[in-house]
Structure 1
Amino acid sequence: MTIERDPVALRFEPLFRLFALYLRFSFSRNFHAVRLSGALPVLPELQPVIVFSNHPSWWDPALFILLTDHMFRGRPCFGPMDEDSLQRYGFFRRLGVFGVEKSSLAGAKRFLQVARHILGQSSGPAGRGMVWVTAEGGFTDQRKRPITLRPGIAHLARSVPDALLVPLAIEYGFWNESRPEVMIRFGTPMPADAQRRTTDWTALLQTALSAEMDALARDTMSRDRSRFQRVLRGRAGASLPYDLYRRLRALLAGRPFSSAHEEEA
């Protein structure tokens, strides 16, 4: 694989960290919070990891970068993007993003080739790389059932036998603040297996991701913050003029002021 097409060689960690810092700012401005349902998966340090998720929003790839920087720092992360889109946003190649032709046999082959290369090599100590994939292929409502995954993730599960596959459920929704919440939930890591047939892998991965999406939906619909860990605190408040009015009233009354609709520890 030439350097011009090798995402491991192109990825530049300082730029990744700088962009992740920008995303922390961006998410904190656009969302009330990023919240984790359940626990983080236990990932052996030198074992490659494939995270596969549903795809409810434009924000998902940015969320992957944010989560990698916050939860899995030290593991270089990579992920595919439509080649036409990547041509317009070329600097993403320096973040570990690699291009594939969408909905083509050549694109599927390219995805498998590059993903195997990343998981077999990665930058830094061998085997620490992560590939993040929105496995549904296109935007899909987070409540749609049954879910349908593209076959590439199943082929990858058979191609890298020492890897772990981790389902990730994602939701975006409003609770009691003016800005939406980001909800995530990881499933139990599954060891890859070259002996399992592709169709069996597809069914297994769909079942695993569906189970985490259903569990996350139940926690989200409960609107119970105690079921979540807060990963990132965002902004609260209704609008600048109204919050200024509320702040003035609190000042005149000698009360502490919070812009949040509901207090949170």
Structure 2
Amino acid sequence: MSPPNDPVARRSPRMVPFFERVMRGQVARNFRALRVVKPGLPNLVPDRPVMVFTNHPSWWDPAVFMAVTGLLFPGRAGFGPIEAEMLKRYPFMARIGVFGVRQDGPRGAAHFLRTARHIVSEPDRILWITAQGRFADPRERPLALRPGAAHLLGRCPHVQAVPMAIEYPFWTERRPEALLAFGPPIDVAPSERPAALAGRLETALIDTADALATRAIARDPGVFDTLIDGSRGTGGVYGQWQRLRDRLAGRQHMPDHEPRP
């Protein structure tokens, strides 16, 4: 049975590609680049649905999810929960796969599980979950994941659960980097209890986040693949002056503060 306000029925296949392009443009304008740690996305079975569970460092997270869904998961319809009051403020988001979740204890949890199970009932869907359920610094440990993802997997062991860590560090340029890293998919036994699953999800996401942190600290773009190449240089009057100076000197203009090979 479909849940009330079925997000699958409300999602508009026409609107989603438009907003994916908008989000990619927003990421390109506001970040130096969106990068993913090599080798990128792990191998996934094409005929099983996917749940990507992540940390939650920033307001930018859902925008990044939407920007990369078509790039990394072509052919899959994306969905994700948001606080129900926020969806009331931005009702158009229901047209791009976002569904409201009430923060009212057991009733809200039951509604989330009913809706999420409906979403992952088809193989060509992907569910994005900010599993911490709150904004948190990417280096905070433990992550203290909320139990919803584990309860969903306990009821739907066919779902491929993939940990993804995300950070937005500043390196040497005016704008920050948007960095992603994926961990191996989690295999779920049909009889595995949610409490045991919750511990495994926490460990997997911590391992993925720690690996990303090591690469973020090293500031080496060579260990990443660039998904979206963003804004470069200082911009404004100073950026225009640099461009004119290099043109008059017959030099190639290198907008980055620290040009890299």
Per the shorter chain, which TM-score range? over 0.9
Tell me the equivalent position of 1:93: 94
- In 1, the alpha carbon distance for the partners of 2:121 and 2:244 equals 59
- In 2, the alpha carbon distance for the partners of 1:2 and 1:194 equals 23
Maintained 8 Å contact 2:172/2:258:
yes
> Following TM superposition, by how much is the alpha carbon of 1:247 offset from its aligned partner in structure 2, in angstroms?
1.3
The CA RMSD over aligned residues, in Å, is 1.3
Maintained 8 Å contact 2:233/2:239:
yes
> Following TM superposition, by how much is the alpha carbon of 1:164 offset from its aligned partner in structure 2, in angstroms?
0.8
Structure 2 counterparts to residues 96-111 of structure 1, below 5 A: 96-111=97-112
- In 2, the alpha carbon distance for the partners of 1:156 and 1:81 equals 16
Tell me the equivalent position of 2:70: 69
Maintained 8 Å contact 1:35/1:184:
yes
Q: What's the TM-score once normalised by structure 2's chain length? A: 0.96
Tell me the equivalent position of 1:45: 46
Maintained 8 Å contact 1:4/1:10:
no
> Following TM superposition, by how much is the alpha carbon of 1:223 offset from its aligned partner in structure 2, in angstroms?
0.6
- In 2, the alpha carbon distance for the partners of 1:120 and 1:191 equals 18
Identity rate of aligned residues, in percent?
43
- In 2, the alpha carbon distance for the partners of 1:243 and 1:71 equals 33
Q: Deviations over 1:152-180 (max 9, x none)?
A: 11101101121110000000110010000
Maintained 8 Å contact 2:3/2:114:
no
Maintained 8 Å contact 2:49/2:125:
yes
Tell me the equivalent position of 1:181: 177
Structure 2 counterparts to residues 110-125 of structure 1, below 5 A: 110-121=111-122
Tell me the equivalent position of 2:152: 156
Structure 2 counterparts to residues 1-265 of structure 1, below 5 A: 1=1, 5-38=5-38, 39-121=40-122, 127-264=123-260
Stretches of 4+ aligned residues off by more than 4 angstroms: 1-4
Secondary structure of the corresponding residue to residue 74 of structure 2: coil
Secondary structure of the corresponding residue to residue 173 of structure 1: coil
- In 1, the alpha carbon distance for the partners of 2:31 and 2:153 equals 34
- In 1, the alpha carbon distance for the partners of 2:221 and 2:63 equals 24
Secondary structure of the corresponding residue to residue 182 of structure 1: strand
Q: Deviations over 1:81-112 (max 9, x none)?
A: 11100001101111111111025211111110
Q: What's the TM-score once normalised by structure 1's chain length? A: 0.95
Structure 2 CA distance for partners of 1:117 and 1:3, relative to 1, 3 Å? closer
Gap regions ≥5 residues in structure 1: 122-126
Count of residues paired in the alignment: 260
Q: Deviations over 1:133-167 (max 9, x none)?
A: 00001001000011110011110110112111000
Maintained 8 Å contact 1:157/1:193:
no
Higher mean C-alpha displacement, 100-109 vs 136-145: 100-109
- In 2, the alpha carbon distance for the partners of 1:142 and 1:4 equals 34
> Following TM superposition, by how much is the alpha carbon of 1:2 offset from its aligned partner in structure 2, in angstroms?
5.7
Tell me the equivalent position of 1:124: none
Maintained 8 Å contact 2:3/2:115:
no
Maintained 8 Å contact 1:167/1:189:
yes
